[in-house]
Amino acid sequence: MSLDQLKNGQSAVVFGYDPALAAERRERFEDIGLVVNTPIRRQSQAPLGDPVIFLVRGLRLCLRRKEARHIYVRPCD
């Protein structure tokens, strides 16, 4: 499942990226802490649904849905 499919309050673990994702974009995600086996939890979203706020390593991270679609996760609950 992709990161954009998580529901508010749902936790997951990052396990990969969309193969079509540009290497530079993948490196950027990894630089901000989205590496394989990283726990992540969807906290909330903006009033119009985009961007989405995630908790990663104790920090809030805002991603657009179109970006989150490229990050693959395995749900924890």
The pLDDT tens digits of the residues spanning 57-70 come to: 999 999 999 999 99
Return the structure tokens found at 34.
């989205």
pTM of the model as a whole: 0.88
Cα distance from N-terminal residue to C-terminal residue, the chain: 13
The amino acid at residue 37 is N
The pLDDT tens digits of the residues spanning 16-29 come to: 999 999 999 999 99
**What's CA 25's distance to the chain center, in Å?**
13
Q: What is the DSSP letter of 63?
A: E
**Which SS3 state, helix, strand or coil, does residue 25 take?**
helix
Per-domain residue ranges for the chain?
3-75
- Whole-number pLDDT of residue 50: 87
* Topology classification of domain 3-75: SH3 type barrels. (2.30.30)
